[in-house]
Amino acid sequence: MQVTRKTFDEVMVPNYAPSDIIPVRGLGSRIWDQQGREYLDFACGIAVTGLGHCHPKLVAALTDQAGKLWHLSNVMTNEPALKLASKLVELTFADRVFFCNSGAEANEAAFKLARKHAAIKYGAHKNQIISFFNAFHGRTLFTVSVGGQAKYTQGFEPLPGGITHLPFNDLAALEAAVGEQTCAVVLEPIQGEGGILPATPEFLALARKLCDRVGALLIFDEVQTGNGRSGTLYAYQQMGVTPDVLTTAKGLGGGFPIGAMLATQEAAASLAFGTHGSTYGGNALACAVALAALEEVSSPAILQNVAARSAQLRESLGKLASEYRITTGSRGIGLLIGVPLADAWKGRAKDIVNAAMRHGLWTLVAGPDVLRLAPPLNISEADVAEGLRRLELALADLAKAA
């Protein structure tokens, strides 16, 4: 059966508008489409395939586990899940782990945990979740409601209540809002979908202090920043503030769907037997692949490469900004880089993505005004240079057409 981009419009729900290009094969930092055209991948399936495509260690972990055992449910535990959880506990602040299949589910678990924890310890009045405008926490009804982008909740009302949105990095607003009624403050250490906007150190420190004062849980959504992308295994590890609960997914499975919520023993104790669950959570195939990915992305070699390639990219992005005046330098952390557009180009991030695609480079947007680069964590210096060359060709095209 021949399938083309047209097939999408004929058989798929129209909630996505995918590119005309249909990749059929990937290896390392490259993918190839149905016509055999090659693309460099600076998108990683939205910061997911952190070790590139078909990494030999992940292929080996997947195929090895595929011949042994796939799925049991949580009626029985399994070795890959226990090994992965042990490794996560060893490498982070966390004492306990809950597995699920996506970022939204990890956040759903964290928000439910926060409500339950406060209800048990303090009473039902303590149910306010504080989150921030432009935050993104997933697409379930609870997670879009906690997220700070109205376009994702419109038409889905009535929404869950007890959620307060504040401006990000606004110390006074946070200080004023957190009170005895607050059960959790949830934030992305670097807002990803919202434009690659880092939280300030003062803001993180204040959030920690206020949560401690009122007995609220500090939840870091590291779905996008986690698993080596920031240059440390999790971004909090270089930010001087430790959360009570951390959610992650995206890069955790290197392309195999898996999510996790990490928590202190004290917080985790509130999700007692029977209070929450997931049929697929802790699936043996997913956990086997994620363990192999985690061993790799937590290695000094990979983390050093993230720092070196980040510096390489950011230096060149600075040069491209002064040369073409379409972009204005870069921001972000590690290999999660935002390239804000100059005023005259605001709203046209997608045009840059499309122009880059014509030159064989896959990039992303983070909102209409920011180009987002999220290449593999193990990308070579030569591949970064080649990607930058293709990006420059795209910028030159746009400059010429302007």
Ligand X SMILES: *Cc1c(COP(=O)(O)O)cnc(C)c1O
- Annotated active-site positions, please? 136, 221, 250
Tell me whether residue 113 or residue 223 sits nearer to ligand X (CB atom): 223
Task: Tell me if 233 sits within 8 A of 239, measured CB to CB.
Answer: no
111 binds ligand X (CB under 6 A): no
Q: How far apart are CA 250 and CA 160, in angstroms?
A: 25
Q: Minimum distance from CB of 164 to ligand X (Å)? A: 19
192 binds ligand X (CB under 6 A): yes
Q: Minimum distance from CB of 274 to ligand X (Å)? A: 24
Q: Minimum distance from CB of 132 to ligand X (Å)? A: 11
The site string for ligand X over 345-364 (x = CB under 6 A, - otherwise) reads --------------------
Q: Give the Å distances, CA to CA, from 73 to 55, 70, 84, 160, 238.
A: 27, 10, 16, 29, 36
Tell me whether residue 30 or residue 226 sits nearer to ligand X (CB atom): 226
The site string for ligand X over 298-327 (x = CB under 6 A, - otherwise) reads ------------------------------
392 binds ligand X (CB under 6 A): no
Q: How far apart are CA 332 and CA 195, in angstroms?
A: 9
Q: Give the Å distances, CA to CA, from 113 to 74, 204, 210, 270, 276.
A: 19, 21, 19, 7, 9
Q: Minimum distance from CB of 363 to ligand X (Å)? A: 16
> Around Cβ 320, how many Cβ atoms within 10 Å?
19
Cα first-last separation, the chain: 42
Q: Minimum distance from CB of 100 to ligand X (Å)? A: 9
36 sits in which H/E element: none
Binder among 193, 296, 351, 392 for ligand X (CB under 6 A): 193
137 binds ligand X (CB under 6 A): yes
- Of 169-188, which residues contact ligand X (CB under 6 A)? 188
Q: How far apart are CA 75 and CA 333, in angstroms?
A: 40
Task: Tell me if 188 sits within 8 A of 225, measured CB to CB.
Answer: yes
Q: How far apart are CA 48 and CA 225, in angstroms?
A: 10
Which positions lie near ligand X, rule CB under 6 A? 102-104, 107, 136-138, 188, 192-193, 221, 223-224, 249-250
